[in-house]
Amino acid sequence: MKDHSSSDTAFCTSFPPNFDCRAKILILGSMPGGESLRLQQYYAYKHNAFWKIMGELFGFSPELEYQERLTCLRMHGVALWDVLQSCHREGSLDSSIRNPVPNEIPQLLGMCPDIRKIVCNGRASGK
């Protein structure tokens, strides 16, 4: 059995939120996966369906450049962030998260008073 102390796991830091102060929906992940951290992009893993789903919902191509996809979400009142600011984690699985430090979600909600719906993208972010 492997010891999951912070000494054998990578320190991970999430990205700043992607938002416009007029956002009405906040989508929360837990912590970006390894590929997302490497590319510094939300939902960068090629098999993640997030961008396909958002493109279908909001009428844009998931093949757009990353910054254009973020702009499309903002234009449709959607903000993105993660519940964790940092953690230690081996690999990309949420079940491997150790020493979690939460993001200041109440502060973001204060900057975006029109947010009426918070959607968690998975069980870990919902906890």
Q: Which residues are catalytic?
A: 48
Q: CB–CB of 92/9 below 8 Å?
A: no
Q: CB–CB of 84/102 below 8 Å?
A: yes
The CA-to-CA distance between both ends of the chain, in Å, stands at 26
Rg for the chain, CA atoms, rounded: 15
